[in-house]
Amino acid sequence: MKKRCLVLTGGGDCPGLNAVIRAIVKRADKEPDWEIIGSIDAYNGILNDPMEYKILDNKAIAGIHVKGGTILGTTNKGGPFNWPIETELGEWKTVDRSDELLERFDELNVKAVISIGGDGSQSISQKLYEKGCNIIGIPKTIDNDLSSTDYTFGFQTAVEIATEALDKLVTTAESHHRIMILEVMGRDAGWIALHTAIAGGAEVCLIPEIAYDVDKIKKSIEERTDKRGGFANIVIAEGTHPQKGKIVAQSTTEIGYENIRLGGVGFELAEQLKKTGMKSDIRTTILGHIQRGGIPIAYDRILATRFGVKALEMVLDGDFGKMVAYKHPDIIGVTLQEAIASYNYIDLESNLIKTARGIGISFGD
Ligand code: F6P
């Protein structure tokens, strides 16, 4: 029987996931001893009864590099270490099913695992590695918030989508002399917002790394205001908060969902600006999941393909407990421990921030 390498996608979907899967399968096709199988909906496919997985051969992955989402399905709820179950009293609790998962890997002759996911998935990979699992991580997230890689795939596509949206909003801002607010994703790091603001020519960029002062935003807009009230374009990341205030989150009843559901800070900002006495009309657009969907741009397909090939080669070399990472110009392996040790916040002294300030973008500080 061939040795099996199990591939799975976990966390939020992201443009380029299918390009990674295709690259892994194509590279494995050169190895007669190995077969690739894909678990459905992250680890759920292996932990469900009956198990849900599929053999990934060349036919299964033909042409998928241009498709958004993931052909394997994904979930950002629960996981092998905190699997949600309903008690007899109708309450929910979590149980650790990691031992069972490893037993099922043996049953399926899985000799290696490639887990494609964000920071949460990489933490699960580290814990499985500590339990003896031969695992490799691949970093994915549109938020670009994983340290130890220059970029995660999916990020550049999200920036492209957000910039296109900003370009469209600028038209209305100019024509109606309005303030247009574009809320983009970015839980704890404002990478999408910052790139979009620079590329799309926003006057204000608000990011989680810098708590804003609404009076400073007002001042920066009024400095370039004409008699009719002036127009301005503001890009704000969903996880941003004012100096005197908290992040805007919604409650959720989704079982096993551990994240805070962000969204709506753009509307709050509009209210705050109005209260300062700003005369201009204000409109808010929340881009939401549009940023995560659709066709990956060429940059992300290439990065995803490089990650996929490298991950399979690390499997062949037995170089486990690592995550593939982009360190220009190379794709390297870093330990999962290192990958999850720190978070990729924007360095406020970085050239990108200085560039933005240099062209007059206000961060509300
Ligand atoms: O982590 C990526 C991300 O896009 C965040 O920016 C966002 O807050 C989150 O996923 C939303 O995920 P979902 O609504 O799919 O649970």
The CATH number corresponding to 3-153+296-339 among 3.90.1010.10, 1.10.10.60, 3.40.50.450, 3.40.50.920 equals 3.40.50.450
Write the pLDDT tens digit of every residue in 243-253: 999 999 887 77
pLDDT tier, 229 (very low <50, low <70, confident <90, very high otherwise): low
Q: Which residue has the higher pLDDT, 90 or 298?
A: 298
Say how far apart CA 309 and CA 10 lie, in whole Å: 19
**With a 6 A CB cut-off, is 208 part of the ligand 1 pocket?**
no
- Output the pTM of the full model: 0.95
Q: Where are the chain's structural domains?
A: 3-153+296-339, 156-292
- Nearest residue to 42 via CA among 127, 111, 101, 94: 101
Mean confidence (pLDDT) of the chain:
95
Write the pLDDT tens digit of every residue in 113-164: 999 999 999 999 999 999 999 999 999 999 999 999 999 999 999 999 999 9
Q: What is the pLDDT of residue 78?
A: 85
On the question of a common fold for 3-153+296-339 and 156-292, the answer reads yes
For residue 263, the ligand 1 atom closest to its alpha carbon is 8
**With a 6 A CB cut-off, is 187 part of the ligand 1 pocket?**
yes
Query: In the annotation, is 143 catalytic?
Result: yes
pLDDT tier, 225 (very low <50, low <70, confident <90, very high otherwise): low
Average pLDDT over residues 31-38: 98
Which CATH fold would you assign to the domain 156-292?
Rossmann fold (3.40.50)
Ligand 1 centre and the CA of 122: distance in Å? 16
Ligand 1 centre and the CA of 117: distance in Å? 12
Write the pLDDT tens digit of every residue in 66-99: 999 999 999 988 899 999 998 988 888 999 999 9
Average the pLDDT over each of 99-113, 259-273, 351-365 and give the range with the smallest value.
259-273
**In this model, does residue 231 exceed pLDDT 90?**
no
Ligand 1 centre and the CA of 287: distance in Å? 12
Write the pLDDT tens digit of every residue in 258-292: 778 899 999 999 999 999 998 889 999 999 999 99
Q: What is the pLDDT of residue 330?
A: 98
80 upstream amide cis, omega within 30 of 0: no
